[in-house]
Amino acid sequence: MSAALDLQSCYRALGFREPPFRITPDTQFFFPHSQYLSAIGHLRFGMQSGGFTVLTGEVGLGKTLLCRYLLRHLPENVRTAYIYNPQQSFVELLRSILHDLTGEMPAGEEQAALQARLLNLLEDLAAQNVRVAILVDEAHRLNPGVLEGLRLLSNLETEKQKLLALLLVGQTELEKQLNEHGMRALRDRIGIWHKLRPFGMGETSSYIRHRLDSARLSGDFHFERGALLAAHYYSGGVPRRINLMCDRALLSAYVECERSVGAAMMRRAAQETSGVPR
């Protein structure tokens, strides 16, 4: 039997149909916490109102999962281009946007021709009452030239409305970049600016229980209160760290034939995944 099948059998033996704490951005595990729902609300409003929206947060707070969830639950009459690899030239970015909006990849066209094609497409969609939003994940990786190009795209408008909404989602380095003197023209166009924060203790506990319940097939496997306290303490309330620690603790419980995770088990998991001192 392969290692992957062995691992899957561990989760099933604990009563789960799949790993509860995978770090991939699986929308099935979206945690409907107030700050996430607020972030989604801000992004949806930005899509419909046009202009610039910025969402920032430290590493591991769930920004990409929010992007994926938003794309699965779009407002009516909104079409999107999702840029998950922002380390492109502006011309490459234009091609990516047109590909997402039309399903066809432009080839061999220069920047002016691509911009003209995009303008024509946006005008056609606006005539059909379809709004267009460009969602850029990992936006802190955009170089200043591309950011300036996006600012110029935000000029595309009719007498009545903006033709394009721009949503930038990235780490806190994006805040520093946008606060530089050379970015003041773009910064002045940001209509919505929202920031994610780590979970508090109660939120961490609710998050862990939510992940367990979302993957549960049967049984009552759980994390004891001491384990929940330890998970928050060692993770700092960062979901990605919580997932790593809880996954390791859960598999330790399987090896030790336990039906719950205790504080000592969670501390060992923290040591193994995050280098916490013994």
What is the span of the domain harbouring residue 14? 7-29+201-273
Which of 153, 179, 195 finishes a domain?
Answer: 195
Domain membership of residue 68 (yes or no) is yes
Instruction: Identify the domain boundary among 166, 195, 224.
Output: 195
What single string gives the DSSP state of each residue in 118-183? HHHHHHHHHHTT-EEEEEETTGGG--HHHHHHHHHHTT-B-SSSBS-EEEEEE-THHHHHHTSGGG
| Residue where a domain terminates, one of 195, 218, 243 | 195
pLDDT at 37: 96
Regarding whether 67 and 139 lie in a shared domain, the answer is yes
- Residue 160: its pLDDT value, please? 75
**pLDDT tens across 226-250, in order?**
999 999 999 999 999 999 999 999 9
172: CATH: 3.40.50.300
Domain assignment of residue 167, yes or no: yes
- Residue 202: C-alpha distances to residues 40, 229, 232 (Å): 21, 9, 9
For residue range 148-195, what is the model confidence (pLDDT) as tens digits? Answer: 999 888 888 777 788 999 999 999 999 999 999 889 988 888 999 999
Q: In DSSP terms, which residues pair with 16 in a beta bridge?
A: 216
pLDDT over 80 at 38, yes or no: yes
Secondary structure class of 256 (helix, strand, coil): coil
Same-domain check for residues 180 and 59: yes
Backbone φ/ψ region at 229: left (φ over 0), alpha (ψ -120 to 50), beta: alpha
Residues 163 and 210 reside in one and the same domain: no
Q: Assess whether 162 and 51 both reside in one domain.
A: yes
55 lies in some domain: yes
The count of domains in the chain is 2
Residue 278 included in any domain:
no
CATH of the domain at 211: 1.10.8
Residue 168 inside a domain? The answer is yes
Task: Indicate if 48 and 91 belong to the same structural domain.
Answer: yes
Q: Is residue 107 one of the residues assigned to a domain?
A: yes
> Is 145 in the same domain as 48?
yes
Do residues 23 and 58 both lie within one domain? no
Q: Which phi and psi angles does 164 have, rounded to 5°? A: -145, 135
Q: Average pLDDT, stretch 143-150?
A: 92
pLDDT at 96 over 90: yes
Average pLDDT over residues 120-128: 94
Within this chain, do residues 21 and 107 fall inside the same structural domain, yes or no? no
